[in-house]
Structures are given as C-alpha cells and as structure tokens.
Amino acid sequence: MLPDSQARVLIRLAEFGDHLDKAWDVPRELSLPGLAESLGVVRSALHPPLSELESKGLISTRTAHVIGGGSRKRTVVHITPEGRNLVAEHDLSPKRRREGIIGPAPESIDVHGRSSEIQTISDSVMEGKSIVISGLPGIGKSTLARAIATNLENNGWTIRWAKCSVSTDTKSIGDMWLGKPSPSSVAAIVESVASSRTLLVIDEAQELHPRHSKPICELISEASESCPVLLVVRAPNPLEIEEDISEFRLEGLESPYAVKLLIEGTDLATAEAVSEALGGHPLAIRLWSPDEGVPEKSKAVLDYVKDTVISRLSEQGRETLDELSIAPSPLGADEMNSEVGIAELDNSAVLKWSDGLMETHHLVRNVRRASLDDETLSKMHRIEADKWSKKEGIRARKIEAYHRSMSGHESDIEWIEENIRAVSIYDSSTAAVVLENALIFQDNQNLRSDAISVALDRGETKIAENHIGKLNDSVSRKIFESRLARVNGKLSDAKRLEDEAYAMSNPSQRARIEISAIIRRFDDRLPGRMSKSETSKILDQISKVRLDEIPLYEKESATLSLELVKYGIAINDLDLTEASKSRAAIESRVSKEDIILDILDLSAAMSQTVDGRLPEGALSSAEALVSRIDDHPSRIRVIHATLEAAGKEIPNWLVDAHRESCTYKLREDIPSYRRLSAQRWYWRGVLEPSNRISHWTEAISRFKSAECSNAANELVTRLSKGL
C-alpha cells in the first residue's frame, strides 16, 4: 500500500480525465502550485511523493500551458494508466467534485486539524443558528467554511455561497445565492433563497465597500430569521449586524497538525519551531521556505510576510504583486502589464485562483498595501487607470473608473464627472463605490448630484438623503427632495417640494417638470383599465403644458411623449376618434417604417374585445410583432400589453417570450425603464405562482424606487389578500 502522502496525490490526480495528458492547455490544479494548494501543503512538500510516484511509473510530468497562467509553459503532473489502475484496485475513490453548492464556493481542499471546529459549527448550523467565522487573514476561514459546507451537503443540506468584493451589493449576493439573476430588494431575496435545511454563506465579507455594507447587514439580519447564515470575515468584523449572531474566532493550528503542512522529512524540531514561531498560521507556514531557516519567534505573522516573504521576491515579482494588490477584482494573465512575475508568485504560494483569474492572498495584499504611502498608491492607481483606458469593454471601464476614484488626482475626478453615468448604466453598484471614493478626495457638487441620482435609481433612500443634505440649495436639490419623498410614499411632501422647484425654475425647466409628472402619473398603475376621472385629470394636466417654452431641439421629443400618453388614454377610454388624432400626430414625427406605429395599431386592435375575447388574429399579430422588434424595452412593452389583453388564456409562446425578456437588463437611470422593470416583476408573479410572493415583493420595491406609489400600494393590497 502507498504511503498516505503518495495516495493523496494519486487520488487528486485521478479526478482529471486522461484527455488532458496531451492537451495544450491544462487546469492549474495539475500544476505543482495548484496541486500543493488543493492538498493543503507547501509546494516543497510535494517533491518526495512526486519523485517516488514517478519512479514507480504511477505519474508522469511534462511542461504545458496552464489555463489562466500566462503564455509560459510550466511543469504539470498526470496520473498514468498504471496509477489509475492502482487507485481502482485499492478502492482509492477520488473525492466527489462539488455538485450541490450554488455559487462561487472555492474548491474543497484537504483540511488539517479542524475536525472539531467543523463538527461544532456544523452542529450549530443544523440547530438553525447563524455563525460568524472570524480570524486573521490567511488563517483558514474560507477553507473551514468550505469544509462545513461539504459536511452539511453530505447531510442533505442546500448550500448557497456568495463571495464579496469591493463592488458587491445585495443584488449581486442574491445572484450568487440563486445562481441566476436575483431580485434586488432584501425581502425578495430572502423570500427567494430561504428554506429549510439551507445554509447561506457570505465569504470575504471584509472586502465589502462601506457604501454597500449596511444594506448587506440588513440582508444578513433578515435572512438569519429564516435560515442559518454563515458569515466569513477577517477580524475585527467591520459589519454592524443587528441580529445576535454567535462569533467563532478561528486561531492557528495546533503544532501536531501545523507540521503536516511542511515537507515530509523536515526535522521535527525544525517543523515544530517553524509552527510555533508562526503561531500555527496555515498560510504563513505554506509561505515558509526551508532556505530561510526558522523565523524569529518574536516576529508577528504580518512582520514575517513583510520582512521575509515579500522581501525575497524579485523586482518583477514585486511589480506583479503591486499590480494585483491594488486591483478591485481578480485579473487574468492577459490583463496584466507583464506576466513575468506570475509564476514566481504562484510558486511562492502568494496567489489565489478562481475560474482562471488570479489575486493575491489577502494577508500578503494587506501587508503590501500597508507598506506603501498615499502618494505611491495614488501614482500606482493612475498607472493602472491609464492601462485600462486603452482596453475596450464594460469590464475595462469599470476597473478604470475604480482606479481613477482611488488616485484622487484632479484629472481623474474630472474623468469620473464625465463618465460615471455611462459606468452606472452597466453596473450601478460599481458606480456607487466610485462616487463615494471620489467624494472623499473632492466634495464636488456634480459628483454629489450623481451619487444622489444613483442612490435614488437604486431605491437607496437613506444614502440619497445623506447626500441631499450636503447639496447646495437649488432647483436640483428640490427635485431630488421631491423624488426622495415620493419614493418614501410621502406624496403630499413630494407635491409641495415639486411645486417649490417649479417656482424656482425657468420656463423650460417648468415644462420638463410638468411632462415628467404627467408620464409618471400615467405609468403609476397596475395592468387594468384606468378610471375615466383619472384619465380626465391627466388630459387636463397635458392641456396646461406650455410647449412653446421648451427649446426647439427638445420640443419634438416632448410633444411625441405627450401624444403617446394621449394615445394610451384614448385606447383606455375606447375613444377611437382621439386615438386616431394622436396616431396621426405621432406618425408625423416618426418615419413611416418606425415600429412604434405597428405597436400603436396592435394596441388599438387588442382593445376591441367582444364578450371579453380578443379579435381573431390579434394574438398571432402580436406574436409576429414581438419576433420583429429588436429594441428590448419596446419588445417588453408589447409583451406586457399582450399579457394584459390575453386575460387568463395566455398562450405558451407569450409565456416563453416573457421569460426570455427577463434575461435583458433594463437601465436603472431612465425613469420609464425603472417602471418597466417593476411591471416585469409583476408579470413574473402572475406567470410563476409558486414564486409570486418573492416576485411581487420585488415588484413593490421597484415600483417604490420608480416613484409609483399607487402601483406599489395596490400590489401590497393584492399580495396581502393572496396571503
């Protein structure tokens, strides 16, 4: 029988198919650093068992490209057919690969000396208790949490795992927990994920930006009332969680287990001395090299990393370390200034990998950052911003924006002023972080206004209120205050503040305020016919708008917007004469091939029901139109209108079309799109009764953030009656 160290290597290698034996690119787990990491040992500990296994013909080595590791070839290890036969003959079954865990959980690795902690925390979780695992960076918190997840998974539990970064917000945690696009409101996320025998994990919680930490604390508190939450965070825990959650402080490994991380054959006295000097800290032990001798016992782990681990790196290695240390997220080799230092950092156990992307272990990153002064860090961020400015794509713009927000340089602040709205279109959580960072360097009123807009678009009223309080008195401030009051359901306050903004405005601004109010009022409803009294009030508002006071370049679009509202009201009131007039006015302002005309005609056709039934061919016309529309928001509007007209007999094609439409992300910075998003969640609740509570809870939240209080209140009533 093979020694344990050799058997563990063979078992791990047997998890990979023989198709990789001659592959051009191979997984990092087959490289020496990846294999050592998965087995939980220092790389040098692999040399004796690998040498023995290769001499016996049970493994082979070669050089190949490692996925995500750059263009240079590196040594990789494969199990031979003889090795596979030995594994099978002795029933050395490979570990079961991760299957039942939802979200970006790390790969399970061999854990040394933590069996009592695993069992203790697992027992607490199975009793329904939420736990915080805290400790020094690199002490093994995530590894312990992953082992607990495996233990619970083997006992029939569902594990939902989220990993935090600087731009993580509640929705992105929901996305990870669900493994698909999630609601954004705390209540809807909890309703979607919480169930019996389910564990919710939030890993690397210390990485959260303060901008997003409070809502996530609310998520943790609310979720822990429905199912256990396992929070993994560096000590001291920066999160203020109202719910009383037990904290488990993870300490270093005891010496008998710590020495197992070192190379076999290391003198026991030396191994114990190294373990004791480094406090049984697993990562520090893996960073240790036999060439260094025993560290000074008086040195703290942080000092050891600074004075020994980082100091022994080459100049190229330190440059790569610096680049990764200030990055807001893991990077690929092709995104680095140079890949020369990657292999050195990987061989030194400094890197962590996930899905082909790399980052430094947080212990090393934190020590390196702390050793750099503010001026040096600012210059480094400026260099990185310049690098990313030359790259294309959404990811590049987000990372560029982050680096500019951290440099504090005046030109970078100006860039953020000019580009932040474009960033927020694709990722409002990153935009929110960038604005908060930039405002630390410069209390800029334009940035402050952008921060308010982003917060209100996301429905974050407390954050918006804080920023509004720091805004100079102006028309913009009054409008923001009015929006905030409307989102909070204080309609009388909202009307008063809007009137004050109106009084302070010039004629052009007044017309814009009036038109926005009209469109919002028309949209503030659930599907169904509006009352004649309500439509009359809206038409009266329209009649009072002075379009002649709007600049010529805006007048056409303003007129078109009002005519679309008038057309919708005419169809609602079954007034085909007025509908025809509005259609003619609209047609005169768009090209004859514009799809909007087909949409209007379909709306008119579907309004002509007989005994509650649609005219013959209306649904087939709707299906053909949906398939022709390229513009996603327009397609969604047609799908919603058809769902409303179809009543209870909804055809399968329409259900499928709506499901497909839910995969498209609507912009948060456009009011009509925010309302459309709320309506989409409403229809999801109609079409998916089993998830109605979650979907309608999200719809209510989105109606509120879209300033549609009437629709939100009506849906609350419907949901309450359903319960």
pLDDT in tens, 614-645: 888 899 999 999 999 999 999 999 999 999 99
CATH of 4-89, one of 1.10.3720.10, 3.20.20.70, 1.10.10.10, 3.40.1350.10: 1.10.10.10
| Per-residue pLDDT at 98 | 47
Which class for 652: exposed (0-12), middle (13-18), buried (19 or more C-beta within 10 A)?
exposed
Give 671's contacts (C-beta < 8 A, 6+ positions apart): 516, 519, 520, 706, 707
Q: What is the pLDDT of residues 493-516, one digit of tens each?
A: 999 999 999 999 998 899 999 999
* CB neighbours of residue 354 within 10 Å: 15
DSSP state of 98: P
Query: Is residue 74's pLDDT more than 60?
Result: yes
In this model, does residue 367 exceed pLDDT 90? yes
Tell me: pLDDT of 573 over 70: yes
Closest CA to 661 of 683, 646, 644, 645: 683
* Torsion 717-718-722-723 (CA) sign: negative
Query: Where does the pLDDT of residue 93 fall: very low under 50, low under 70, confident under 90, or very high at 90 and above?
Result: low
Which amino acid is it at 719?
L
Give the DSSP letter string of 175-202.
HHHHTS---SSHHHHHHHH--TTEEEEE
Please report the pLDDT score of residue 723 as a whole number: 65
* Mean pLDDT computed over every residue of the chain: 92
pLDDT digits (tens, 9 = 90+) for 416-444: 999 999 999 999 999 999 999 999 999 99
Q: pLDDT value at position 706?
A: 95
Taking a C-beta distance cutoff of 8 angstroms, is the pair 452, 480 a contact? yes
471-484 pLDDT, tens digit each: 999 999 999 999 99
Is the pLDDT at 272 greater than 60? The verdict is yes
4-89 matches 101-249 in fold: no
**Per-domain residue ranges of the chain:** 4-89, 101-249, 255-310, 317-349+372-483, 506-589
Q: Which residues contact 515 (CB under 8 A, 6 or more apart)?
A: 545, 558, 561, 562
Sequence-distant (6+) residues with CB within 8 A of 654 are 619, 622, 623, 639, 642, 643, 646
pLDDT tens digits along 34-72: 898 888 777 777 888 899 999 999 999 999 988 888 888
Provide mean pLDDT across the span 600-607.
93
In this predicted structure, what is the pLDDT of residue 298? Answer: 63
Taking each helix axis from N to C end, the angle separating 115-126 and 141-153, rounded to the nearest 10 degrees, works out to 60
On the question of a cis peptide bond just before residue 238, with omega within 30 degrees of 0, the verdict is no
What's the mean pLDDT in 488-494? 95
Read off the pLDDT of each residue in 126-142 and give the average, rounded to a whole number.
95
Assigned token pair, 32: 């020496």
Q: Tell whether the model's pLDDT for residue 197 goes beyond 60.
A: yes
d(CA 69, CA 486): 52
Q: Would you tell me the crossing angle of helices 552-572 and 595-607 to the nearest 10 degrees?
A: 20
Residue pLDDT, tens place only, 678-717 = 999 999 999 999 999 999 999 999 999 999 999 999 999 9
pTM over 0.85: yes
- Which CATH number does the domain 101-249 belong to among 3.40.50.10800, 2.40.30.30, 2.60.40.1180, 3.40.50.300? 3.40.50.300
d(CA 638, CA 627): 11
Q: What is the pLDDT of residue 99?
A: 55
Across 37-99, where does the E strand assignment appear? 59-66, 73-79
* pLDDT band at 167; cut points 50, 70, 90: very high
Q: Which whole number is the average pLDDT over 106-122?
A: 91
Query: What is the number of helices (H) and of strands (E) in the chain?
Result: 35, 11
Give the tokens for residue 545: 């708008």
